[in-house]
Structure 1
Amino acid sequence: MTRPLRVNFPGALYHVTSRGNRRAPIFRDDADRRIWLDVLAKVCERHHCVIHSFCQMTNHYHLLVETVEANLPSCMRQLNGHYSQHFNRRHRVVGHLFQGRYKAILVQKDSYLLEVSRYIVLNPLRANTVAALNEWRWSSYHYFIGDDVSPDWLERNWLLRQFGDTPTSAIVAYQNFVLAGLGQPSPFEATHHQILLGDETFISVHQQLQQSEELIETKRSERRAVALPLSDYQDRYPNRDEAMARAFASTAFTMSEIARVFGVSTKTVSRAVAGFEKANKS
């Protein structure tokens, strides 16, 4: 089983895919696709992430997303969670829409952004969904070639600048570049352990980060196994601030986890911890 990617940092670029549970469709019609785009726009606005390429297929989607902040898990939790709610409510169904956790690959921007963006928009042609790429409305391709007004969350200019100094020449060169990708090997054949795509230096640096994050998570899980459940802290300590501070002091829980259980913001948890530590200084 592929290990989930745990490397998060400001400016990170990821190729993200998410598939329907049991390969079932996640988009039944164009209305579903528009709803997903609306949810994506809200995610980008709230979490300050930027989309470089995307493609909606029938039972999955692709995103090339850059996180201005180190917050991919939050972005994806909102995207898949909110869209699932809309889908289930609209189609009057229950249960999981997506097949487990999304898959993310950390991508080296300078070396692989162009190739990965091309791979993403070529999906409808490779799947024989359409005969010509401009027939597929549900990808970033038609925004890049000027068939529609690009939304604010789609970073069009950076990519097109790699192909020409004027909009017209850049679009023509971009179209040629994309079509030249047909029949080419997938860039993901060079993926390291299915989570990193880049040159040797990039892989070495981020592999160490991945291992560090896994070690931190392992230690946290071990501490959590012997720690009190968060609900016990609520029962044991009537003072909410003390309960939150003692839960955090156990080192088994993050402030975000404590905030969710206690129904407060992480800022409130932080203040409680600081106040408790100050009051108990010897």
Structure 2
Amino acid sequence: MSRGNERNDIFLNDDDRQIFLKTLGEIAERFEIDIFAYVLMGNHYHLLIRTKRANLSKAMQWLGVSYTRGFNDRHARSGHLFQGRFKSIIVQNDAYLVQLSCYIHRNPLRANSVNRLAHYRWSSYSIYAYGYQKPDWLSTELILSHFTNGERHKAYREQVQGYAKEETRLWEDLKHGMILGSQKFVDKIRRTYGMQTGHQEIPRQKKMAREFNPTSFLVEASKVLNCDLKSLKAANRVSTRDKEDRDLLIYALWKTGALTNTKIGELFGVTYSSVSHSVKSARSKLEENHRLKNNYNRIYSLVRM
């Protein structure tokens, strides 16, 4: 969850909301995050997500910076949009996902924004409750798998409708304001990440995974691709094969979320917009080019942080 600075609105119109949802799709791909549920309120938003890498802080920072930059441009403003760091809760297992999605989807009711959740456009509720078309980046199967196939959407509606009585019980399992699960799970988290007190933040990515070194990655990846890094940096004088390899390396760096487009461009001697073009080109070709797909799979382990 993240809230607007001084509780100010972070969405001023539907264009803002649409752009925010598009940005969610970008972080889902770039940071390999499963997004299960969302709701956009006036001055804050809630997400139910699962990370495949230890990169939640980096992903949420990128989301905030990217959306803020566009918001400020659209509304002729400057400065911070969000209030400090996002608030997150670690969840023990999939059993809590249904309950948490109900909690998130009921936000408009608690805020008296609508009388019926079906009337609220800016959440994933209707996708779950009525089977409306979902964006590609929204993962619904895991939560819906808790219900009988033929009646999944109806059963989910009934679950949400009856959830008001269960909210209190859900938060009884919240430990130290940040971990949702059994005491055994809490103790495991504290041992694993060295938490000494209940209010101490779990170490961020830099303490949970090795530091990513883009220069070392490029050296190792060029060996896998059997290419010359110097030739790839000659922006306007590369062969088709070299350009494909360069686009692939740029895409791999982009996927780490560790570098800005500007920094990636500096590594290859190309512009910010050229990096964006390379990302789109590589993404498209990976779907149809068997050689590139194989090479990407081979360097994937080098990219992981």
* TM-score computed with the length of structure 1 as normaliser: 0.68
CA distance in 2, matches of 1:61, 1:205: 29
For 2:68, give the aligned amino acid: S
Cα 1:33–1:216 shift into 2, 3 Å = closer
Match of residue 89, structure 2, among 66, 81, 105: 105
Q: Does 1:149 align with 2:141?
A: no
Cα 1:150–1:58 shift into 2, 3 Å = same
CA distance in 2, matches of 1:134, 1:151: 18
CA distance in 1, matches of 2:158, 2:89: 26
Cα 1:128–1:259 shift into 2, 3 Å = closer
Segments of structure 2 that go 5 or more residues without pairing to the other structure are 208-255, 269-305
Partner of 1:174: 156
Q: Deviations over 1:184-207 (max 9, x none)?
A: 334234311111001122111112
CA distance in 1, matches of 2:124, 2:171: 20
Cα 1:65–1:215 shift into 2, 3 Å = closer
Partner of 2:47: 63
Partner of 1:120: 104
For 1:124, give the aligned amino acid: P
Q: Deviations over 1:210-253 (max 9, x none)?
A: 326979969x99xxxxxxxxxxxxxxxxxxxxxxxxxxxxxxxx
Q: CA deviation at 1:153?
A: 1.4
Match of residue 188, structure 1, among 162, 171, 175: 171
For 1:209, give the aligned amino acid: T
Partner of 1:238: none
Question: Conserved in 2, the CA contact under 8 Å of 1:144 and 1:150?
Answer: no
Matches within 5 A, 1:215-230: none
For 1:204, give the aligned amino acid: D
Match of residue 84, structure 1, among 68, 77, 88: 68
Q: Find the residue that maps to 1:55 and give its secondary structure.
A: strand
Segments of structure 1 that go 5 or more residues without pairing to the other structure are 1-16, 222-255, 269-282
Question: Conserved in 2, the CA contact under 8 Å of 1:121 and 1:140?
Answer: yes
Q: Does 1:135 align with 2:134?
A: no
CA distance in 2, matches of 1:149, 1:44: 18
Cα 1:96–1:144 shift into 2, 3 Å = same
Match of residue 203, structure 1, among 181, 186, 189: 186
Partner of 1:51: 35
Cα 1:102–1:176 shift into 2, 3 Å = same
CA RMSD of aligned residues (A): 2.9
Q: Find the residue that maps to 1:175 and give its secondary structure.
A: helix
Q: Does 1:24 align with 2:8?
A: yes
CA distance in 2, matches of 1:84, 1:259: 18
CA distance in 1, matches of 2:142, 2:164: 23
Cα 1:92–1:149 shift into 2, 3 Å = same
Cα 1:110–1:171 shift into 2, 3 Å = same
Question: Conserved in 1, the CA contact under 8 Å of 2:118 and 2:125?
Answer: yes
Cα 1:215–1:57 shift into 2, 3 Å = closer
Question: Conserved in 1, the CA contact under 8 Å of 2:193 and 2:203?
Answer: no
CA distance in 1, matches of 2:166, 2:201: 38
